[in-house]
């Protein structure tokens, strides 16, 4: 052995892979390469506790320097990977350094998608890194005007945090409703939450440009000519996989790094996980990237086990799961939301106890996913039921009925 395992990407997916390797008894060298100078940190709190000013940056750290030393992990932080030589098994760093490997784990994640229009320079921000969160947090407060472009979970969470800080917020979405993929009941519920909090919703709108507005301000110009003045603009319109450093390797495309159910790429010595990896879809149909925290955690277990044991084990089926905190309510999504649900069941959307959910059925009438509000027990029940249904010959495999949640 020479280089051991090199993990490029020092966020959740990369760190968890290193930790699982050691827990499984992996004794060869482990090198963790990170483009940011910070110790590995957790991203979900960035749009919540950090923006709210409730947590210092240090509280987001997932590990200490001492713990990395105990794990015998050589952390190369502040050193972005810029190239890969598969024939020589070398990773090139931005400073010109070369790191040899026996096995390589690609965990370089994604970066925020930018607006395809002129932007307002220092007034426009995205939220991905710890530095992003600290910069945005410093610009929120009473008397400040924020325009959020993009109404996915990140955009909505930034909006919630800004409102709590006394900021005047306008939330812009190109969709005619908030999170329309979850159905009209969910969209109406979220719209009411935001409007009750004083947020101006601008729906079915396309941003033409973000222009300087004079002084310390910018103007978000919509396709119909409407101008929205702001002191701060935050853009949250999806992510782009960080694969540029893999150019010429034959391992990546614009949609990420395609992998097997075990996280293996076309090169037996290279595996990938997290936001950058395109894993097989449900039932092995197609591939897609997942940018959710829980996916990275589960994939890290699989990748580490492959490196220690090989790929002879069944990696199982992971049921998608994500959550969002908005105005004191916890939203949890479980399973799949089909592009065209066979039916949306929302009989429990107007409960007396505050817990509510929608279930999503496929064309066969089987439950494939759900969205839950303030109902962690229901979300857990559906998650377990979907896992049983996905298991070969497992209980529940014939299908699920709406009552399962």
Domains of the chain: 5-111+240-309 (3.50.50.60), 121-235 (3.50.50.60), 328-396 (3.30.390)
At 339 the pLDDT is 76
Confidence grade of residue 243 (pLDDT, cut at 50, 70, 90): very high
Q: pLDDT for 109-126, tens place per residue?
A: 999 998 876 665 788 999
CB 399 within 8 A of CB 382: no
Least confident of 24-33, 136-145, 250-259, 312-321: 312-321
Q: What is the mean pLDDT of residues 98-114?
A: 96
Least confident of 99-103, 338-342, 396-400: 396-400
Confidence grade of residue 38 (pLDDT, cut at 50, 70, 90): very high
Least confident of 173-177, 240-244, 373-377, 387-391: 387-391
pTM (predicted TM-score): 0.91
| Cα–chain center distance at 276 | 10
Q: pLDDT for 198-233, tens place per residue?
A: 999 999 999 999 988 777 889 999 999 999 999 999
Non-local (6+) Cβ contacts of 125 within 8 A are: 132, 135, 136, 232, 233, 234, 235
- Local structure of residue 61 (DSSP, 8 states): B
**3-class DSSP state for residue 40?**
coil
Q: pLDDT for 245-286, tens place per residue?
A: 999 999 999 899 999 999 999 999 999 999 999 988 665 566
At 396 the pLDDT is 44
At 286 the pLDDT is 67
* Long-range contacts, 388-394 (Cβ 8 Å, 24+): 390/316, 390/317, 390/319, 391/316, 391/317
At 202 the pLDDT is 98
Percent of the chain with pLDDT over 90: 78
Mean pLDDT, the chain, whole residue set: 91
Q: What is the mean pLDDT of residues 230-244?
A: 95
Is the confidence at residue 395, as pLDDT, over 90?
no
Tokens linked to 225: 């000519």
Is the confidence at residue 404, as pLDDT, over 50?
no
Q: What is the mean pLDDT of residues 385-401?
A: 61
| Cα–chain center distance at 197 | 26
At 219 the pLDDT is 92
Non-local (6+) Cβ contacts of 140 within 8 A are: 51, 146, 161, 162, 165, 166, 167, 232
Q: Strands, E, within 110-149: which ranges?
A: 110-112, 124-126, 145-149
Q: Which residue has the tokens 């096995």?
A: 103
Give just the sign of the alpha carbon dihedral 85, 89, 91, 96.
negative
């Amino acid at each position: 052995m020479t280089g051991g395992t090199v993990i490029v990407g020092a966020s959740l997916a990369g760190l968890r892979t290193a930790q699982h390797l050691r827990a499984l008894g992996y004794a060869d060298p482990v090198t963790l390469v990170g483009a940011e100078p910070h110790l590995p940190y957790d991203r979900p709190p960035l749009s919540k506790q950090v923006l709210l000013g409730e947590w210092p940056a240090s509280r987001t750290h997932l590990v200490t320097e001492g713990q990395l030393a105990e794990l015998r992990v050589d952390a190369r932080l502040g050193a972005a990977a810029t190239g890969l030589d598969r024939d020589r098994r070398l990773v090139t760093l931005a400073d010109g350094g070369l790191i040899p490997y026996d096995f390589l784990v690609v965990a370089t994640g994604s970066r925020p998608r930018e607006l395809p229009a002129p932007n307002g320079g220092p007034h426009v921000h995205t939220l991905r890194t710890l530095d992003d969160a600290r910069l945005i947090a410093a610009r929120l407060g009473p008397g400040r005007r924020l325009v959020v472009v993009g109404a996915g979970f990140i955009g909505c969470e930034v909006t919630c945090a800004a409102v709590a800080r006394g900021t005047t917020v306008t939330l812009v979405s190109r969709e005619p409703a908030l999170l329309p993929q979850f159905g009209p009941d969910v969209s109406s519920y979220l719209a009411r939450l935001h409007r009750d909090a004083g947020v101006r919703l601008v729906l079915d709108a396309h941003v033409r440009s973000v222009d300087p507005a004079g002084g310390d301000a910018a103007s978000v110009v919509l396709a119909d000519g409407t101008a929205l003045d702001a002191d701060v603009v935050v853009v949250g319109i999806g992510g782009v996989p960080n694969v540029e450093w893999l150019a010429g390797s034959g391992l990546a495309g614009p949609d990420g790094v395609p992998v097997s159910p075990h996280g293996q790429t076309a090169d037996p010595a290279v595996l990938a996980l997290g936001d950058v990896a395109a894993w097989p879809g449900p039932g092995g149909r197609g591939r897609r990237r997942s940018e959710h925290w829980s996916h990275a955690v589960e994939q890290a277990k699989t990748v580490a086990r492959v490196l220690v044991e090989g790929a002879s084990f069944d990696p199982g089926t992971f049921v998608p799961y994500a959550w969002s905190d908005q105005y004191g309510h916890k939203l949890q999504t479980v399973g799949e939301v089909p592009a065209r649900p066979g039916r949306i069941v929302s009989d429990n959307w107007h409960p007396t106890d505050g817990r509510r959910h929608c279930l999503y059925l496929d064309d066969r009438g089987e439950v494939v996913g759900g969205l839950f509000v303030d109902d962690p027990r229901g979300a857990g029940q559906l998650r377990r039921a979907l896992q049983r249904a996905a298991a070969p010959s497992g209980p529940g495999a014939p299908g699920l009925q709406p009552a399962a949640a």
